[in-house]
Structure 1
Amino acid sequence: LLAVAQIGAGPVLFGAVIWLYWRDQTLWAIVMLVWSVITVSFDNVLRPVLIKRGADLPLVLIFAGVLGGLVAFGIVGLFVGPVVLAVTYTLLVAWVARTGEPRG
């Protein structure tokens, strides 16, 4: 149900950590906690950074594309959002550069 709300894997994974600790599985709770931190970091931080490496766009624009696309289109929006914003940004920069040229 949390995946439908697009909250991510964090609440589910951290809930599993609490459940494991509550069931006296301390070692597995620690392993799951480490795995959860790595997974949430990849999901929320590294994806936009890696997308930035392939494009000449501001990082804030990529974050906005990822989050906006995720909210608007779900999983597909993770890829569609940054692409749409990248195309829009590139066209806007080209348009502004062209309007500065003299007509003739």
Structure 2
Amino acid sequence: PQALLFGFLTFVLSFVPIDPPLVWGSVALGLFIRGAVWWSFFVAAWGLLLVSSIDNVIGPYVLGKTDNRPVLLGFFGFLGGVVAFGFIGIFLGPTLLAVAYSLFLGWTTAEVEERRHPTEQI
């Protein structure tokens, strides 16, 4: 009935690992309560077998195992990007925040190394 709302909720909540099952689970429960038993089983099976497995298999493969950035960094980049840049901010926000985070880590690591091993001044 409200596909646009649930689609948007799934999109926004997909950045938090536990929330998409809450969305398709509530849809399956709502269908079950309304008497559409087979559709509720279909939605639950679709969400469990397809959506969750894609989130748990393809997501880590795409992101890579060497990505050590916090997950909330991407989420706040998404929110800030949408507020600052509109629709294109969905892609621009997390990218810019990840670049800034990497630059900050490189700068602080260089400062720490410089303090541990000071160079001789002539």
The bucket for the TM-score relative to the shorter chain is 0.5 to 0.7
Mapping of residues 6-85 of structure 1, within 5 Å: 7-8=12-13, 10=20, 12-37=23-48, 39=51, 42=55, 47=59, 51=63, 53-55=65-67, 57=68, 61-74=69-82, 75-76=90-91, 77-85=93-101
Identical columns (%): 15
Residue 114 of structure 2, aligned match among 81, 98, 103 = 98
Secondary structure of 1:53's partner? coil
Secondary structure of 1:21's partner? helix
Q: CA RMSD in A?
A: 3.6
Superposed displacement of residue 12, structure 1: 4.9
Question: Higher Cα Rg: structure 1 or 2?
Answer: 2
Superposed displacement of residue 36, structure 1: 3.2
TM-score of the aligned structures, taking structure 2 as reference length: 0.52
How many pairs are equivalent? 98
Gaps of 5+ in 1: none
Secondary structure of 1:103's partner? coil
Amino acid at match of 2:46: W
4+ runs deviating over 6 angstroms: none
Gaps of 5+ in 2: 15-19, 83-89
